[in-house]
Amino acid sequence: MRPSWETIETAIRRLDRRTHPILILWPTEDEACHEYDQFCERFEVSGGDGVYWLAGTHGGYLQRRFQDPAGGDRDVEIYGPLIEQGFGDRERHICRDVELVVRAARYYAERGGFDPSVPWEVGRRAYLCQRCGAPTLAREDDPQREVCYRCLTPVERKAKFG
């Protein structure tokens, strides 16, 4: 059964970085689709107590993260090593505003997708190579994103990777 919005919001506000550090929203109630790998669709909220990490894998994006334009490169622990192996990310991917977290999660829960009012990083997306048809991953701002590495000519590779 799909949780109510009130249940989801309560779970977000209960996140504490210690005993309740992770919340995953799935796009379907079908538990067979709730496998956790890099390609499964989901919306993640981790952390708590003013240190939140948001990411979504859906709409062709792979783990597109919240990005604070004013954030830096300092590493921030989101939760410690007693949970899984611990987890952290750069400060620019940390959200300190629980209301923004709630708003982004509500948008995903009700509409599926990234709230356009929230700053998200330029993400990696899955594309089909226009030359061979194979799936390929690339940043959405990559002008050659629709061509897989194998199909790039030596000149294209040099231009792309140096």
pTM of the model: 0.76
What are 75's strand-pairing partners? 90
Q: What are the boundaries of each domain within the chain?
A: 5-111, 126-161
Residue 135 backbone phi and psi in degrees, to 5: -65, 145
Of residues 79, 110, 116, the one with CA closest to residue 94: 79
Residue 59 backbone phi and psi in degrees, to 5: 60, 30
pLDDT in tens, 35-54: 665 567 889 999 999 999 99
pLDDT in tens, 58-84: 877 777 899 999 999 999 999 988 887
In angstroms, the Cα distances linking 138 to 37, 77, 124, 125, 142 are 18, 27, 5, 6, 7
